[in-house]
Amino acid sequence: MIEPSVRVRFAPSPTGYLHVGSARTALFNWLYARHTGGEFVLRVEDTDEDRNRPELLEVLFELMNWLGLDWDGDPVFQSNNRDRHRDVVASLLGQGRAYLCDADNERIDGSDLLDGHAVRFEVGNDATVTFDDLVRGSMSFETGALEDFVIWRSNGSATFILANAVDDADMAITHAIRGEDLLSSAPKATLVMNAMGMAPPTYAHLPLLVNESRKKLSKRRDDVSIGDFRDRGYLPEAMVNYLALLGWGPPDETEIRPVEEIVALFDLTDVNSAPAFFDVEKLDHFNEHYLRALSPGEFVRAAEPFVTGSNTPWAKADYDPTVLETLAPEVADRVST
C-alpha cells in the first residue's frame, strides 16, 4: 500500500497578531511537513465577517515570513467555501442526520435548509467516537455526553466545527496538528465527517502553553505576541529554536541547534502531552546565544532598526555602522536583545 503523502495545514483566524501558541502550532505543522517532504498549507479561517480585515492578514503573513515558515501554494480562504458548507448542511438535513431549530432553539420538522433557521447535528446517545491522537494517545468520547451541536447559524453561516471539518476533508488534510483547546471539537468533527462518508485527519493536539504560575498564557497578563518579541529585539532563529522545544524535545537533548537539524529530527510521536512552560528567561538565553553567533556585519544589520530609530541618544546623522561593526563582538557579549 502506498501511504498518502503528508498534507498539513495551519488554520488561523485573522486576528492581526500572532500569539506564541499559534506560532508554535504553525511551526510544528511546518516542521512535520518539511521533515516528511509533505505539504504545508495555510488556511485562513475567515468566516467571521466582523474580524475579516485584509490588513490583519498582512500582519500574519509578515510574521510567518519573519519566522521563516514558508507555506506551499496560495493561502486558502475558508470564506470561499461557503456554498460547499451550505451543501453539506443541506445534505445532512436531507439524510436526517441533522435537524432545524426555530428562534427558541426548539427542534422543528423539515428537511430543507430554511433561511433564518439554525441547524443542529444529531449526535445520538449510544455511540462512541474513538481516534488515536498522535500526542495524547487513544481517545474515546461517548456521544451521550455530547450535545447536539450547532452546525449552521440562523444568519446563514456555517459554524467553526462544520467549516473546519468539511475543509479538512475536502483538502485531503492528513494530519490536523493544533492546540489542545480544540480537542473537544475533534469528536464532533469526526461525527460530521463520518456522516458525510469522508475521512477525518489524524489528530495531534499539542500541549497547552503555561506561564511560571502554571496558568494558561493570557494575552492580558503575559507576553504572548510574536510581533512584540520581534520589536523588542529577539532574533527569528532564537524564537523558532525556542518555540520548537515547547512540547517537543530532540532524542539527544541538545536544545540549541539550527532549524535544519530540528527539521531532520522532528517527529510528532516525540511530542509530549504535558503543559509546556513558556519561559521568557530561557528565550533570552537562546537569544543571547544567537546574537553572539552573528558575524559583526550580521549583528549590525540586525541591530539597525534599534539603533537608527527615534529613541536613540544620538542623532540619526551621527550613527555610523562601521563604528558599530568594530564594536559588535563587545556589544553582542553584553546584550540579551
* 11-19, 121-129, 145-153, 255-263 -> range binding ligand GLU (CB under 6 A): 11-19
* 5-13, 80-88, 108-116, 293-301 -> range binding ligand GLU (CB under 6 A): 5-13
Distance of closest approach, residue 45 Cβ to ligand GLU, in angstroms: 4
Q: Work out whether 29 is an interface residue with ligand GLU (CB under 6 A).
A: no
Grid coordinates given for 199: 475521512
Q: Work out whether 26 is an interface residue with ligand GLU (CB under 6 A).
A: no
Distance of closest approach, residue 160 Cβ to ligand GLU, in angstroms: 7
Distance between start and end Cα atoms, the chain: 51
Using CB under 6 A, count the residues that bind ligand GLU: 8
Grid coordinates given for 336: 540579551
Applying CB under 6 A, among 6, 7, 8, 12 the residue interacting with ligand GLU is 12
User: DSSP string of 82-141?
Assistant: HHHHHHHHHHHHHTTSEEEE-TTS-EE--SS--TT-EEEE---SS-EEEEEETTTEEEEE
Distance of closest approach, residue 179 Cβ to ligand GLU, in angstroms: 7
Distance of closest approach, residue 176 Cβ to ligand GLU, in angstroms: 5
Contacts of ligand GLU in 125-164 (CB under 6 A) = 164
* Cβ proximity to ligand GLU, 51 vs 232, nearer residue: 51
Which residue sits closest to ligand GLU, CB atoms considered?
A: 178
For residues 204 and 133, is the Cβ–Cβ distance under 8 A? yes
Applying CB under 6 A, among 11, 163, 206, 240 the residue interacting with ligand GLU is 11
E-assigned strands of the chain? 7-10, 39-44, 76-77, 98-101, 107-108, 118-121, 128-133, 137-142, 150-152, 175-179, 202-206, 209-210, 276-277
* 31-39, 174-182, 288-296, 318-326 -> range binding ligand GLU (CB under 6 A): 174-182
Applying CB under 6 A, among 20, 176, 262, 294 the residue interacting with ligand GLU is 176
Distance of closest approach, residue 31 Cβ to ligand GLU, in angstroms: 16
Distance of closest approach, residue 178 Cβ to ligand GLU, in angstroms: 4
Q: Work out whether 226 is an interface residue with ligand GLU (CB under 6 A).
A: no
CA atoms of 216 and 212, how far apart (whole Å) = 10
Distance of closest approach, residue 167 Cβ to ligand GLU, in angstroms: 9
* Cβ proximity to ligand GLU, 167 vs 222, nearer residue: 167
Contacts of ligand GLU in 41-100 (CB under 6 A) = 45
Contacts of ligand GLU in 177-216 (CB under 6 A) = 178, 182
Q: What does the longest C-alpha to C-alpha distance in the chain come to?
A: 79
In the block, which residue shows the cell 504535558?
Answer: 274
* Cβ proximity to ligand GLU, 36 vs 47, nearer residue: 47
Grid coordinates given for 140: 474515546
For residues 67 and 30, is the Cβ–Cβ distance under 8 A? no
Rg of the Cα atoms in the chain:
23
Distances, alpha carbon 294 to alpha carbons 297, 303, 335, in Å: 8, 11, 13
Kind plus residue range of the DSSP H or E element containing 187: helix 186-195
For residues 53 and 234, is the Cβ–Cβ distance under 8 A? no
* Cβ proximity to ligand GLU, 151 vs 235, nearer residue: 151
Q: Rule CB under 6 A: which residues touch ligand GLU?
A: 11-13, 45, 164, 176, 178, 182
